[in-house]
């Protein structure tokens, strides 16, 4: 939607500039030539003795600037098409580990000459209201010294479930009295919407960075409540245990249902057989499921060697990249902009730079 608004704005700007330009030409009775040079509009003016000649030139400059901006916008949106060929992924087999927007990602891969293999490692994410009720009621009644919120949707789900249990007012009151630590910009946005304030917030959306921010605080003898999305966070639990917290309570609004074993088995066989060039991970849990399965069948070390050798790991953002790093993968790429399309373009740039297309 943002891109569409930007495109419309640029179109109107161009039309207005051209209209003003032609108006000035009419008034000045000048002759002007609009042309193309190196992909951009150029303007040649045969200036006469006219007070408004500089206004004409100014309008032409606006046209030129708008086209330049538009060209930059297209580059940021789609990648540097001028420097990247249409066959940047020719002969490459890319696994899509996510379950969302797989058709769009496949289209981008195929447009660059690659082959897309959808092997969803995401599984299902289900709301677990029954398991959540008891710890949520306890928090609303007893509170905590610190509350660690790790996802925006998880935080909103806690509030929503508290409302269903008729304890939302007490829930929000306990939140307001606790010291809050926030991971991720969506979580921070929820905190602001709820009229709350975080004492600590991460810089890059990773749990590791949040832990670094919490290092300076004393948690000895304190009760800690951690909101998680669907998986335990052993890093946070170890951190608070080392800090001598008296109690650590985890609230998991959602639970992940693992992907089909047949999908995990198929992907492992393809990786071992050298039938995959890239695995594109869009969430940290996909990384965890794949390596958990490899560990179960005794191939974890071989999988690490595969990723450090012939298969490239691609992460959609810093959180997913952190999961790869923590599990031991040393070689991976991550785009500057946390978007699935940007990840594929980054992979294409990588192979083109390496000259590794088949």
CATH number (domain holding residue 203)? 3.40.50.10090
Residue 280: strand pairing partners = 96, 314
Query: Rg for the chain (alpha carbons), in Å?
Result: 27
| Residue ranges making up the domain that contains 334 | 93-123+259-354
Residue 329 inside a domain? The answer is yes
Which pLDDT value is given to residue 328?
95
101 in the same domain as 163:
no
Which pLDDT value is given to residue 254?
80
How many structural domains are present in the chain?
3
Which pLDDT value is given to residue 23?
61
Residue 332 inside a domain? The answer is yes
CA distance 325 to 94: 20
Q: Is the pTM for the entire model greater than 0.85?
A: no
Residue 311 inside a domain? The answer is yes
335 in the same domain as 315:
yes
Residue 84 inside a domain? The answer is no
Residues of the chain with pLDDT under 50: 1-6, 28-83, 357-358
252 in the same domain as 131:
yes
225 in the same domain as 186:
yes
- Please give the distance of CA 284 from its chain centroid, rounded to a whole number: 11
Which pLDDT value is given to residue 231?
72
CA distance 322 to 320: 5
Residue 83 inside a domain? The answer is no
CA distance 241 to 243: 5
- Give pLDDT tens digits for 143-194: 999 999 998 989 999 999 999 999 999 999 999 999 999 998 889 999 999 9
Contact residues for 200 (Cβ-Cβ < 8 A; gap 6+): 179, 180, 181, 182, 210, 213, 214, 217
Which pLDDT value is given to residue 7?
52
Residue 218 inside a domain? The answer is yes
């Amino acid at each position: 939607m943002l891109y569409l608004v930007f495109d419309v704005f640029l179109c109107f700007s161009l039309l207005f500039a051209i209209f003003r330009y032609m108006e000035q030409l009419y008034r000045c009775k000048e002759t002007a030539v609009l042309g193309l040079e190196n992909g951009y509009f150029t303007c040649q003016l045969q200036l006469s003795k006219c007070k408004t000649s500089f206004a004409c030139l100014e309008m032409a400059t606006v046209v030129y600037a708008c086209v330049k901006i538009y060209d930059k916008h297209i580059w940021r949106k789609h990648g540097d098409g001028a420097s990247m060929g249409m066959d940047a992924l020719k002969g490459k087999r890319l696994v899509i580990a996510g379950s969302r927007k797989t058709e769009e990602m496949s289209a981008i891969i195929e447009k660059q000459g690659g082959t897309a293999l959808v092997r969803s490692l995401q599984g299902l994410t289900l709301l677990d209201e029954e398991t959540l009720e008891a710890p949520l009621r306890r928090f609303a009644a007893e509170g905590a010294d610190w509350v660690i919120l790790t996802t925006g949707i998880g935080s909103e789900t806690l509030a929503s479930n508290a409302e269903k249990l008729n304890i939302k007012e007490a829930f929000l009151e306990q939140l307001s009295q606790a010291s809050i630590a926030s991971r991720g910009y969506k979580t921070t946005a929820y905190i602001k919407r709820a009229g709350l304030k975080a004492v600590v917030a991460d810089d890059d959306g990773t749990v590791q960075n949040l832990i670094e921010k919490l290092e300076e605080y004393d948690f000895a003898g304190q009760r800690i409540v951690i909101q998680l999305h669907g998986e335990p966070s052993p890093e946070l639990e170890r951190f608070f245990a080392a800090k001598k917290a008296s109690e650590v309570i985890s609230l998991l609004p959602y639970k992940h249902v693992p992907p089909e074993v047949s999908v995990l088995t198929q992907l492992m066989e393809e990786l071992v057989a050298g039938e995959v060039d890239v695995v594109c991970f869009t969430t940290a849990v996909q990384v965890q499921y794949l390596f958990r399965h490899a560990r179960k069948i005794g191939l974890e070390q071989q999988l690490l060697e595969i990723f450090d050798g012939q298969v490239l790991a691609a992460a959609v953002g810093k959180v997913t990249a952190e999961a790869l790093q923590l599990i031991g993968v040393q070689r991976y790429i991550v785009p500057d902009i946390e978007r699935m399309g940007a990840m594929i373009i980054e992979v294409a740039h990588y192979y083109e730079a390496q000259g590794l297309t088949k």
